[in-house]
Structure 1
Amino acid sequence: MSDTNEVNRRRPATHRPVARVLPMLTLAHLDRPFDYLVDEKTDADAQPGVRVRVRFAGRLVDGYLLERRESSDHGGQLAWLERVVSPEQVLTDEVIAVCRAVAQRYAGTVADVLRLAVPPRHARVEKEAVAHGPHPAITPPDLAGWAQYAAGESFLEAVVDGRHPRAVWQVLPGDDWAARLAELVTTVAAAGRGAIVVVPDQRDLDRLAAACEPLLGDRCVTLAAGLGPTARYRRWLAVLRGQASVVIGTRSAMFAPVVDLALTVVFDDGDDSLNEPRSPYPHPREVAVLRAHAAGAAMLIGGYARTAEAQALVESGWAHDLLAPRETVRAAAPRIEGVADDDRRLGGDPLARSARIPATAFDAARRSIAAGFPVLFSVPRRGYLPSVACARCRTHARCRTCSGPLSMNDRGDLSCRWCGRPELRFVCPVCGAKAVRALMIGDQRTAEELGRAFPGIPVVTSGGQKIVDEIPAGPRVVVATPGAAPRAPDGYGAAVLLDTWAQLDREDLRAGEDAMRQWTAVASLVRCKADGGRVVVVADASGAVVQALIAWNPVGFAAADLQQRRELGFPPAVTMASVDGPGPAITAFVEMVDLPAGAQTLGPVPLPSGVRRPAGMDGDGDVERLLLRAPRSSGRHLADALRAAQTVRHARHDDTAGIRVQIDPPTIG
C-alpha cells in the first residue's frame, strides 16, 4: 500500500516533464526511444546522457535518457521514470549520433553499439575527485620524421588548421610508426584539440603508449579491455570530463567521448584483431570513417601494407595517398628476393637441407650472424607439427570426434587443434595406415632444426602465449610467427620467410592481402640494403605478392587486388552480407528481405571453417551461410532491408533459431 501511495503522490516536473529513453533492449523491433514521465524528485538529475532505469513490459531495464520534452506524441498514459542511476552524463550527442550511424551501417541495433561504446558503470570511480587546474604546456614535437613523406608536413598543418584532411599513410620500411603517430597526436593536442588512435592489440598499444607518454603525460590515456573494468572506466571518465584529450586503444576506443575531436587514426587496419566479435560487428576503420565525417575531423589510416578497403577510399577521392618518394623508399628498404623451395636450391649443404632452407636463404642467415646481427625466421604456425597427414596416402589427419585437424607435439603425441582431444590410435580412414607425416612445421620444430644448423648461436622463439618484445644486440637466431617478431636494437641483418605456401594457398579472399601485410611487417624490421639487410622469401618469385614485396609496392598490389574484386564482385567493390544459421531458418529469413535492385543471393553453403557459430547454435546442428551481394551504391538499402527483416522476425518472436546477420564479414568462404 505504501508503494502505491508513493506512486500516486508523484508529480510531473514543471519544465519538460517527458523524457525520451532508449532502453537497452537488443530486439530490433524495440530499438527506438520510448517516452516516460519525470517527477519532481528526479528532475534535476534527469538530464540528457544519464543512465536511467525504466519499467518495460513489467520488468526494470537499463536505459539512456536522450532528451527532455514538454509533451509526448504517445496518446496513452506514460509510465514514470523509475530512477536516475547516476547524474553523470555519459552519453554525448556526438557519441549517440555515431552509434546510430554504425547501427544503420551494419544493420544492427543502437543498444548493441552502445554496449561497445560506453563501458559499464563503477559508482566508486564516479565519486572520485575530479582533478582541476591547467595542464602543463605541451612542447611541440620535432616533425622531421614526417618530412620524409611527400605531403607529411602539409597533412599535419591541415589537421591543426581544422581542414579535416583524410589520408592513407604508407609507412616507410624501418620507420618507427609509433614515434610518428605520437608526434602527430602531440601536435593536435598542442593546438588544444583531441585525437583517437586505434591499434590492433595490446603489444602495439604498449609500444604507442611508450612513445606518447614522454610527450603528452596524463593528456593521453589508453583504453583497452586488458585494463580491467575499474581502471578502464576511470580513464574513460577522464576523457569524458576533458581531463585527457588523446585516446589510444583497441577496437572500441574509437567511440571514446573525446572533446573537440580533430583526428581519428586506425593503424594496420587489416589485422584480424580489429574484427569485432560482438554484434553488430563494426570494424574500427568504418567507425572512424563515420565519426570523422560526422564530426568534421581528419582521418588517417596507416600501415606498412594496404587493405583493399583503404585503397577504395583513395580511389573514390574520399582520402588521399600519404607516401614517401620512390627514391626514399628504395633507400630505406632491405634487399628482397624470392627463392623457390625445391631440392635444387638446397645444394649439398646437409645443415641447410635438415632445416628446409634454400641455399640462398641459408647464406643470408650466415652472413647476418657473421656480421654480428640477428637473423629472423618467420613461420606461419606455432607448435611442433601443427598439421599432419597419412604417411601412405597423404590424406589430412583429422579428429574422429569433431573432424578438426590433428597436430603432433615434440613427444610424438597426436591431438586435435580444435577440441584438444588426444588421438591415441590413429588409423587413416582412407587406406588404413597408422603412421603420419608432417604437412607443416611449426615454430618449435623449426627452432630445433635451426639450433642444429647454427651451433653455438642462441635461438629465441616468439609466438602464441610466449611473445618476446625485444632482443638484445648481437648474433641470434629468432623464430617467430606472424605478428610476434621481436624488435632488434640495430635491426635484423636478414629475415627468411618460410612455408609461404601456407599463407598464399589459403582459400580466403584476403590470403594475398594478409601475406603482404605480414611480410612487410617482417621486412620492416630488417636493416636497409645499404647496411647489408636482406630478406629471402621462400616462394616462387613470379607470384604477384612476392613481386610486390620485392619492389616494395603495397599500393600497387592493393590497387590490383581491388580491381580483381571489382571484376569478381567481392567487397569492398560491393556490399556483401552473410546470414548464418540453420538452413531452413536462413532461407525463411531471406525471403522476408526486400532486396535492392541488382542484389544477388549466393548459397546457402556450409559455414566456412574457422568461423564461430552464431549465438544459440552451439550444439551439433548444421550451420550454413547464405550471402547477399548488392552494388556498393545500394549498400545502405541492403542494410536497411536486413534490419527491417530482423524487426519483423523479432516482432513475431521467431528468434530462437540462432541466426546471425553480418555486413561485410571478414571471412566469406
Structure 2
Amino acid sequence: MATSSKNDRRGERKPAATLPVARVCVDVALPHLNRLFDYLVPEQLADDAVVGCRVRVRFHGKAVDGLLWERAEDTAFTGSLLYLERVVSPEPVLSPEIAELIKAVAERYAGVLTNVVRLAIPPRHARVEAKSAPEPAPPPPAPESEGWSRYPRGRSYLDAMAAGRQAHAVWQALPGEDWPARLAEVVTTVAATGRGVAVVVPDHRDVARVHAACVQLIGADGVVALSADLGPSERYKRWLLLRRGAVRVVVGTRAACFAPIEVPGLLVVWDDGDSGHATPFAPYPHARDVLVERAHLTGASLLVAGFARTAEAQLLVDSGWAHEIVAAREQLRAAAPRVVAVGETDEQLARDEAARTARLPGFAFDAARAALKAGAPVLVQVPRRGYVPALACAQCRTRAMCRRCAGPLSLPGGQDDGMPRPAACRWCGAAEAAFRCPACGSRRLRAVVVGSRRTAEELGRAFPGFAVRTSGAGEVLAEVPDAPALVVCTPGAEPVAQGSYGAALLLDGWAMLGRRPARQRAGAAALDDRRRPGQTRGRGGQGGGHRGVRAPGRAGTDPLGPGVARQPGTGRSHRAGLPARRADGRGGRLAGRGQRPARGAEVAAIRRGARAGADRPGGRRGQQ
C-alpha cells in the first residue's frame, strides 16, 4: 500500500477513514498518460469527494482539473500518494453508466480518456449549479399512433417499447413522412414506462422540429433540447436537469449521445449518414457508433432512422443485431414522388432539343409553372452557394486560378460604382480584372457552375410575380409557408414547407458527384409529396424512400453474444456496426496505415510531376 507524502506524515492532513484512495481522471490529453491516477482523500474532504465530482489535484508540479472516477480502500501504487487539493464541486457530474461508456468509446476509437470526457460533460457554471432542480414530471400517457401502421413491423415495434423489451431496429421512412411526429410517438411510448430516451439528430433545425413534436405529446417539462447554438450557461442548465433526473427525454445533436438520462430505454439516431454526426474532435467518434455501444452496455433499444439507409445501418440488419422497419412496396409506390430525368425519353428531346444541354429545360419550367399556379412552393436545389463560384477559360476550358495564391477565381456578383465587380480569388480575395489564360492566352471567362444567388436572380426574371427565397450558408430558412414561391437552396439547407412542395428541381447534378449526391438529393426528394401536381426532378434526381441495397452474402449469428457477427468464410468476428480489429489488437481504423514513408527524392519527383501535369492544357487543374 502507498503512503502519504512527507508533509502529510507530519500530521498536517490525514486520509479519510473509509475509502481513502481516489482514482482520478486527470485533464491531461497525453496518450502515454491515458489512465487513472491514485490520490489520497483528506479527512476534511471525505464527504464532498463523491464519485463523479470535479476535483483539483497536483500533477507534475501543476494544479490541474480532474474527475473523481472511483474510490477504493487500497492502491497498487507502492510510492507516496499526493492528496486531493480540493473538491471543485460536490455535484456528481459523472454517472457510472456514462463512465463505462466513455471508457468503451475511448477504447473503441483508440483515443485518450480525457478527450472523450470533454465531449461527454460540458464545462461547469457555478451559478447554474447552485440552483436546485425541479421535481421530475410524471410519466406521460401512452400516445395513439396511426402513422406507424403504414409499416408492417411498426406496430409490433411500438408494442415492444411499451412492454419494456429490448428491440433494435433500422427504420426507413417513406417519402413525405412526418418523421418528427413518428419519432415523438415512439419516444412518448417509452417515456410512459418511466424510462429515459435520447434522440440524436444532425443539426439544430432538426432539434427544433423533433423537440416541438415531443412537447406536444410529453409536455414542456418532460423534454429538453441540447444543441451547439445554446449558450454555455443554458446548455449546462439543461444538462443538469438530465443528470439530476428532473427530465428523462433529450433531443439534441451529436453530444446528446452522452446525455446522462436515467434508466435509458431507447436511443434514436436520425439520418446517421449525415456528416454532422461525425465529431470533428479527437478521437472523432460517430454518434451512431456511440449509441450502438451504449445500447450494448445498458440494454437499451436502438432505433436508426432516416429516409435513406447507410451501409453501416444495413450491416446492423444483415448481422441480425437489428430488424428493419420498412413499408410495403405498394405503400412506397403510392408515397414516392414522380422522378423525371433530363433527356430520358425521345418525347422530351422531340419537344426540346436542348433538354440535355440546357441547365433548366422546358419541361422543368412547365412543371414549376404548374406547381406555382396550383398554389404550392417549388424547391430548387443547386450544389454551390454564392453567385458564380467557379470560372474557366471560355476557349480551352482551363480552370481560372489566382496568379498570387493559385486559388480558384469566382464572380462575387453585385456592383461597385455602377460597374459589375470583377472576378476575385476565393482564397485571398485579390481581384483579377485583367485575366489571361496561361494555356491559350484567351481573356474570356465562362461559368463552370452557377451559385444559388445567380440562380435566384435568373428564376426571378423567368417567373415574374412570384417570390424567390434563398436558403444556404449564413441564412438557413427553417420553413416556408404553403404559398406559391421559388425556394433556392444548397444541399442540407432545404426548408420545410408547411404544406408540401409542388415540385423539386435538382440542378447541376454533375457538380454533386463529389459531394455525397445520393444523401443530399434524398433530403430534397423526401420533402416532396405525391399529392401535388407536376412533381419533377432535374438532371437525375433520386427519390429518398428506396430501400437500401443488401450487401452480397449474409453474416451469420455468433454465439459470442448479442451484437456480435462473424464474417462468413473469414473466421473473423466483430461487434455489429463496428469494424473488426486486427490480430495485433489495434483498432480497425488504423489498419492499412503502416506504409513506408516516401523519401526526399521521391517526394521531389512527385512534386515535379504534379506541377508539370497541372500546367499543361487538360491537366489536373483543367479537369476540375
Tell me if structure 2 keeps the 8 A contact 1:311–1:562: no
CA 1:407–1:381: 2 relative to 1, 3 Å = same
Name whichever of 108-117 and 179-188 sits farther off. Answer: 179-188
Match of 1:439 among 443, 448, 456: 448
Q: 2:328 aligns with which of 325, 331, 334?
A: 325
- Establish whether residue 555 from structure 1 lines up as the match of residue 557 from structure 2: no
Q: CA deviation at 1:642?
A: 5.9
The secondary structure found in structure 2 opposite 1:62 is: strand
Report the Cα distance in structure 2 between the residues aligned to 1:432 and 1:517, rounded to whole angstroms: 41
After TM superposition, the structure 1 stretch with the greater mean CA deviation from structure 2, 45-54 or 369-378, is 369-378
Q: 2:308 aligns with which of 305, 308, 317?
A: 305
| Aligned position for 2:27 | 24
**Per-residue deviation at 1:550?**
5.8
Work out the CA distance in 2 between the residues paired with 1:471 and 1:351: 32
Contact kept, 8 Å, 1:346 with 1:357, in 2: the verdict is no
* Residue in 2 that maps onto 1:494: 503
Contact 2:580 2:587 in 1 (8 A): no
User: Which runs of structure 2 are paired with 1:646-657 in the superposition (5 Å)?
Assistant: none
- How far has the Cα of 1:139 moved from its partner? 2.7
Deviation for aligned residue 1:353: 11
- Quote the offset at 1:329 in angstroms: 1.1
The DSSP-based 3-state class of the residue aligned with 2:119 is helix
Equivalent position of 1:171 in the other structure: 173
Contact 1:457 1:477 in 2 (8 A): yes
Q: How far apart are 1:562 and its partner, in Å?
A: 12
**Alpha-carbon offset, residue 169 of structure 1:** 0.7
3-state SS of paired residue (1:468): coil
1:417 deviates by: 3.0
Alpha-carbon offset, residue 527 of structure 1: 2.2
Which shows bigger deviation, 297-306 or 413-422? 413-422
Distance 2:91 2:527 in 1: 46
**2:139–2:194: 8 Å Cα contact kept in structure 1?**
no
Q: Which residue of 1 aligns with 2:379?
A: 376
Alignment of 1:339-418 (within 5 A): 339-340=342-343, 356-411=359-414, 412-418=421-427
Match of 1:212 in 2: 214
Structure 2 equivalent of residue 524 of structure 1 = 526
Distance 2:343 2:583 in 1: 43
User: 5+ residue gaps in structure 1?
Assistant: 540-545, 564-572, 576-596, 599-629, 647-669
| Partner SS, residue 229 of structure 2 | helix
1:371-411 superposed Cα distances (whole Å, 9 cap, x missing partner): 22222211111111111112222111223444332221223
Q: What does 1:123-138 align with in structure 2 at a 5 Å threshold? A: 123-132=126-135, 135-138=137-140
Shift of 1:21: 0.9
For residue 336 of structure 1, the aligned residue among 336, 339, 357 is 339
Q: Secondary structure at the match of 2:106?
A: helix
1:143/1:634 CA distance change after superposition, 3 Å = farther
- CA distance 1:121–1:427, change in 2 (3 Å): same
Structure 1 counterpart SS, 2:65: strand
Q: Which amino acid aligns with 2:271?
A: D
1:109 CA drift (Å)? 0.6
Give the secondary structure class of the aligned counterpart of 1:491: coil
Please identify, of 424-433 and 166-175, the stretch whose mean Cα deviation from structure 2 is larger: 424-433
Letter in 1 for 2:276: S
Aligned match for 1:483, one of 450, 475, 492: 492
Look up the match of 1:474.
483
Aligned residue identity for 1:356: R
1:265-303 CA-partner distances (Å, limit 9, x unpaired): 110111122221111110101101100111111001111
In the aligned structure 2, how far is the partner of 1:574 from the partner of 1:271?
A: 27
Q: Distance in 1 between matches of 2:447 and 2:182?
A: 43
Q: Work out the percentage of aligned pairs sharing the same amino acid.
A: 50
Change (3 A) 1:185 1:71: same
1:249 to 247, 252, 257: 252
C-alpha distance in structure 2 between counterparts of 1:427 and 1:313, whole Å: 55
Count of paired positions: 564
Query: For residues 124 and 587 of structure 2, what CA distance do their matches in structure 1 show?
Result: 31
Q: Indicate the residue corresponding to 1:639 in structure 2.
A: 587
Q: Distance in 2 between matches of 1:383 and 1:344?
A: 35
Instruction: Indicate the residue corresponding to 1:201 in structure 2.
Output: 203
Counterpart for residue 611 of structure 1: none
Which SS does the other structure have where 2:536 is aligned? strand
Whole-angstrom CA distance in 2 between matches of 1:303 and 1:357: 30
* Partner Cα distance (2:344, 2:435) in 1: 30
CA distance in 2, matches of 1:574, 1:379: 43
In the TM superposition, what is the alpha-carbon distance from 1:554 to its structure 2 partner? Answer: 3.8
Give the partner amino acid of 1:472.
Answer: P
Q: Displacement, 1:43?
A: 0.6
Question: What secondary structure does 1:376 align onto?
Answer: strand
Structure that is richer in helix per residue: 1
Query: What does the per-residue CA deviation read over 1:318-361, in whole Å, with 9 as the maximum and x for residues that have no partner?
Result: 11111011111111111112114999958787999997212222
Partners of 1:636 and 1:188 in 2: CA distance? 42
Of the three residues 142, 145, 160, the one matched with 2:144 is: 142
Q: Which residue of 2 aligns with 1:56?
A: 59
Query: 2:537 maps to which residue?
Result: 536
8 A Cα contact 1:104 1:640, kept in partner: no
- Amino acid across the alignment from 1:637: G
TM-score, normalised to structure 2, is 0.84
Q: In the alignment, is the contact (CA less than 8 A) between 2:198 and 2:257 conserved in 1?
A: yes
CA RMSD of aligned residues (A): 3.2
Per mean C-alpha deviation after superposition, the further-off stretch among 5-14 and 100-109 is: 5-14
**Greater Cα offset, 121-130 or 236-245:** 121-130
- Kept in 1, the 8 Å contact 2:579–2:588? The answer is no
Amino acid at match of 1:150: P
Q: How does 1:566-581 map to 2 (within 5 A)?
A: none
Task: Give the counterpart letter for 1:463 in structure 2.
Answer: G
My pick for the range that moved more, 449-458 or 21-30, is: 449-458
Asked if 1:36 corresponds to 2:29, the answer is: no
Matched-pair contact (CA < 8 Å) for 2:526–2:543 = no
Q: What code does the residue aligned with 2:285 have? A: P
Counterpart secondary structure, 2:44 = coil
Partner of 1:47: 50
- Residues 35-94 of structure 1 deviation map (CA, whole Å, 9 limit, x = unaligned): 111111111111111111111111011111111111111111111111111101111111
Deviation string for 1:105-149 (max 9, x for gaps)?
A: 1111111000000000111111102223x5245132221111111
TM-score (norm 1): 0.79
Distance 1:554 1:439 in 2: 34
Q: 1:341 to 1:497 in 2, by over 3 A?
A: farther
Letter in 2 for 1:214: Q
Q: Do structure 1's residue 277 and structure 2's residue 280 form an aligned pair?
A: yes
Q: Distance in 1 between matches of 2:58 and 2:479?
A: 54
Distance 1:561 1:229, change over 3 A: farther
Distance in 1, Cα, partners of 2:586 & 2:213 = 42
Where does residue 191 of structure 1 map in the other structure?
Answer: 193
